[in-house]
Amino acid sequence: MPTVLCNCLALRQAARRVTQHYDHVLAPSGLKTTQFSVLAMLRRYQPISLGALAEHLVMDRATLGHNLRPLQKAGWVSLGAGADRRQRVLTLTDAGAALLTDTAHLWRAAQDGFEAWFGAADAAALRTDLAVIAHMKPSEGFISMPALE
């Protein structure tokens, strides 16, 4: 297996491979890994603005909006008025919460499968290292672009 010299390419290749694994295990639920992740983060932080959720997911608002549409259409996510009538906030519906509860065992199986293959300690270390990268701010000299909104 040739070593990839580009950090970005190596990370994206690894992310695609891991996503394929999680998508395969989550398939019986009808959810993709990206959808499960959005629902899980929404459950953790709700009610939350679109911008704040995008920031937690390290995703731009347009991409998050695109990912939210099918979740709203399915009745798993609700978009309503916030405390300030100009602000819109997202919440997980009862159906969305039930779906997460019903699919938790599939996510756990995907997580356990990855850890069995990669090693639990190595997986924990990987998550720690990736969290550092994911939470770097442009002001820290890493990203030479405006902050994501």
Domains, the chain, ordered by start: 29-107 (1.10.10.10)
- Please tell me the pTM assigned to this model: 0.83
d(CA 147, CA 149) in angstroms, rounded, equals: 6
| Sequence-separated (6 or more) residues with CB below 8 Å from residue 67 | 34, 35, 38, 59
Which of 26-30, 74-78, 122-126, 143-147 is the least confident region? 143-147
Q: For residue 149, what pLDDT is reported? A: 46
Contacts of 100 by beta carbon, 8 Å cutoff, 6+ apart: 36, 39, 40, 43, 92
- SS3 at position 95: helix
pLDDT tens profile 62-102: 999 999 999 999 999 998 887 777 788 999 999 999 999 99
Instruction: Kindly report, residue by residue over 26-44, the tens digit of the pLDDT.
Output: 999 999 999 999 999 999 9
What pLDDT score was predicted for residue 136?
Answer: 81
- Token digits of residue 76: 């798993």
The secondary structure element, H or E, covering residue 78 is strand 77-81
**Is pLDDT at 147 greater than 70 in this prediction?**
no
